[in-house]
Structure 1
Amino acid sequence: MKVLHVNAGLEVGGGLTHIVNLLTEAKKEGEDFTLLCLAEGPVAQAAREAGLRVAVLGINSRYDVASLGKLAAFINDGNYDIVHTHGARANLFLALIRRKLGAKWCVTVHSDPYLDFAGRGMLGKLFTAANLYALRKSDCVFAVTKNFANLLVHKAHVNQNKVHVIYNGIFFHRDSEIPAKYPEATFNIINVARVEKVKGQDLLLRALKNLDNANVHLYIAGDGSQMAALKDLVQKLDLGPQVTFQGFMTQKQLQNLYRRMDLAVLTSYSESFPLVLLEACDNLVPLLSTAVGDIEMMIPDQDSGFIAKIGNLTSITTALHQAVATPKNELEEMAIREKAYITEHFSVANQLEAIIQEYQAVIKR
């Protein structure tokens, strides 16, 4: 079975990690997977560094419809059985050439399609409508949470027989491969996320202010359009000594920072199945998250982590207070339990196996 994964190529967050991890596992298992990026960028670079088979089509604009024939020829000449797209731009391009292809077409929905272009006015509404149109035209849709699956079926009106929930996974390290923890006097919190409104870092800063504990230090690892606004908020809340903006960090840099962390926090309004929490868990850092992206599947009980209500400052403050008040040795035990659970349920190997089963079913249909 020949499979072509297609992405615009400009992802820098969880989408990039998802694609590269999945194709890395497929290579290890001897599967015939290829990655095609519409444009040169971070995805192609990361795929090459991982030793994957990757091609770049050279489409440098989402409006470059003249290259659709080039895309169709690449797919048909390659005799692919499955084309698997990731992201709105790749989805739309496939929808426009669908009738010219001999391959079956699958899509992974990494995020809420109604929020992907929020705040972009009429153009955003057009992009949203185009993406939803594409999802309805595909042969198979992989939703990374039950919430997304329900949204696609009941709001976007995608045929429910096409929609399948397959959770994200990562490669887990043996505990002996994780750098030893570096104990510090402060209680250190890390937030790894794009600095955008949907990630709710403003709520995290306000919760930190409400906590009123000078011994707690927050590290924000990420970059984005809200950086200036968040720095202004830090000054307004008089939190300067307690907050460090790390900017974008590589996985190697993050792993080194994790060894100093007591808690990983995500206060987003919307998420898929957040890989950043899986990665923190792999590094034996306890988790606190708002109730996004089927998080109860990742944090199944109070012994596994902390869950707060979405967009609720009081709930986030309470959960943060509970975590900070927990003795560090108990947090360490929590992280060990959580990693054992996560490793069993959310590996890339499990993810790949489930996806291949659906590929085979789509081909039979």
Structure 2
Amino acid sequence: MKILQIIPGKIWGGAEQYIVDLGRELEARGHEVTYLAYDREAVTAQLERRAIPYQTLPFRWSLDRTSINELAAMLRATHYDVIHVHSTRFVPIAQLAVARAGCDTRVVMTRHEAHRTGVNILLRPLFRRLHRIIFVSDLVKRRYRGANGWISDDMCRVIHNSIPPYPYKDVESLRALYDIPSSAPLLMFAGRVKKSKGCSVILKALSRIAHKPFHIVFVGALKSEKYHRQLMEIAAAGGIEKRVHFYGFTPDARQFMRQADIAIAPSVTLDSCPLTNIEYLQLGKCEVSTNNGGQAEYLQDGRTALLVGPGDDMALADAIGRVIDDRDLRERLAKAGREHFEQHMSYSQFVDKVLEAYSNT
């Protein structure tokens, strides 16, 4: 099968890595994958660093004539079985290019976002011709179809995200770097350090259990120095500032995640299917998270994780305190999470489902 993946971002992020990971596995299974991207250095430099061949189009807007014509020329020159788009704004370009080329290429869209977005009535015929819509969670499907009730259920598939296995890479020890004693569990937040991810809620919760042994490391880029100061003010008010550490951005975040004893991911926004939670499942880590997004579909409270309401620092403090105090509980949660990933969410199963969505049957 020949597959054209359209990379949606103007910067490099989780969605872009998701597409590249998928493409690599498809190629490993014998399929041919071509990548189309914006001509932006933030994206093209990352593709070149990974030695991934690509082509660019301007993608100025959803009905950009230049992009439609150039994509149609590509389709006339090479027969692609599938165009996989990862944003609604690329659907009109892909569908009009297919029509202009006069080919039978199937267009598949993955809906990654949880917010409600209604499709313009003039563009609906193009969306009705989609071969499949992949939703990364039932939450995303409910919200998108709630705003677009005319979408046929036959074209819809729910496929939770997954993470491919990554080889081990030696990185520095966070315990050694921050002089964390072996008796103190290493708590970790991995991701962009910003308010919507619940970072201030974490520190308010930890301030409530300051008498317990722990250190926490935030691995990820800080939104701003101002927010960093706000977080440290919360930590200082709670008397825990010497046990709060900010490592910053690193391309090896997944390797550092291996060092966590307890993973904390208390997003206060409606996340669609957060990859960080899935990464911790794959790594077999004890998770404390929130129950407000797509993660609640694959994290079972009390079995594979502890879940609390978003923004509830008291409940978060109680949950973190439980797994700090009870090593058996955190090991049991971690083991069950790893087993759930292997049985239901492995990357091999994920790609099988994507290929089924691509198929013409």
TM over 0.5: yes
Look up the match of 2:208.
210
Look up the match of 1:119.
none
Do residues 35 (structure 1) and 35 (structure 2) align?
yes
Offset of residue 243 of structure 1: 2.0
Rg comparison, structure with higher value: 2
1:150 pairs, out of 142, 156, 160, with 142
Taking the aligned partners of 1:231 and 1:36, their CA distance within structure 2 comes to 40
Structure 2, unpaired ranges of 5+ = 176-180
CA contact under 8 A between 1:197 and 1:226: conserved in structure 2?
Answer: no
CA contact under 8 A between 1:189 and 1:218: conserved in structure 2?
Answer: yes
Offset of residue 85 of structure 1: 0.6
Change (3 A) 1:76 1:200: farther
Do residues 272 (structure 1) and 272 (structure 2) align?
yes
1:313-324 equivalent positions in 2, closer than 5 A:
313-324=313-324
Q: Normalization by structure 2: what TM-score? A: 0.81
CA contact under 8 A between 1:214 and 1:242: conserved in structure 2?
Answer: no
Q: Secondary structure of 1:246's match?
A: strand
Offset of residue 282 of structure 1: 3.0
Change (3 A) 1:194 1:137: farther
**Residue identity opposite 2:112 in structure 1:** H
Taking the aligned partners of 2:11 and 2:130, their CA distance within structure 1 comes to 22
Q: Secondary structure of 2:186's match?
A: strand
CA contact under 8 A between 2:235 and 2:244: conserved in structure 1?
Answer: no
Offset of residue 137 of structure 1: 6.0
Change (3 A) 1:214 1:42: farther
Taking the aligned partners of 1:88 and 1:224, their CA distance within structure 2 comes to 29
CA contact under 8 A between 1:199 and 1:270: conserved in structure 2?
Answer: no
Taking the aligned partners of 2:141 and 2:323, their CA distance within structure 1 comes to 32
Look up the match of 1:56.
55
Change (3 A) 1:271 1:160: same
Structure 1, unpaired ranges of 5+ = 116-124
Look up the match of 2:358.
359
Do residues 223 (structure 1) and 205 (structure 2) align?
no
Taking the aligned partners of 1:254 and 1:171, their CA distance within structure 2 comes to 11
Q: Secondary structure of 2:263's match?
A: strand
Taking the aligned partners of 1:192 and 1:129, their CA distance within structure 2 comes to 37
Look up the match of 1:100.
100
Taking the aligned partners of 1:196 and 1:93, their CA distance within structure 2 comes to 34
Offset of residue 89 of structure 1: 4.6
Q: Deviation string for 1:322-351 (max 9, x for gaps)?
A: 222222x54234323321221221122111
Taking the aligned partners of 1:316 and 1:135, their CA distance within structure 2 comes to 42
**Residue identity opposite 1:346 in structure 2:** M
CA contact under 8 A between 1:8 and 1:87: conserved in structure 2?
Answer: yes
Q: Secondary structure of 1:80's match?
A: coil
Look up the match of 2:311.
311
Q: Deviation string for 1:279-337 (max 9, x for gaps)?
A: 2233332111111443244323513221112333333222222222222x542343233
Offset of residue 235 of structure 1: 1.5
Alpha-carbon RMSD: 3.3
Look up the match of 1:288.
288
Q: Deviation string for 1:248-282 (max 9, x for gaps)?
A: 221x3541x23432111111122222221222233
Q: Secondary structure of 2:85's match?
A: strand
Look up the match of 2:111.
109
Q: Normalization by structure 1: what TM-score? A: 0.80
Do residues 81 (structure 1) and 87 (structure 2) align?
no
Look up the match of 1:120.
none
1:164-243 equivalent positions in 2, closer than 5 A:
164-172=157-165, 184-213=182-211, 215-223=213-221, 225=223, 228-238=226-236, 239-243=240-244
Q: Secondary structure of 2:33's match?
A: strand
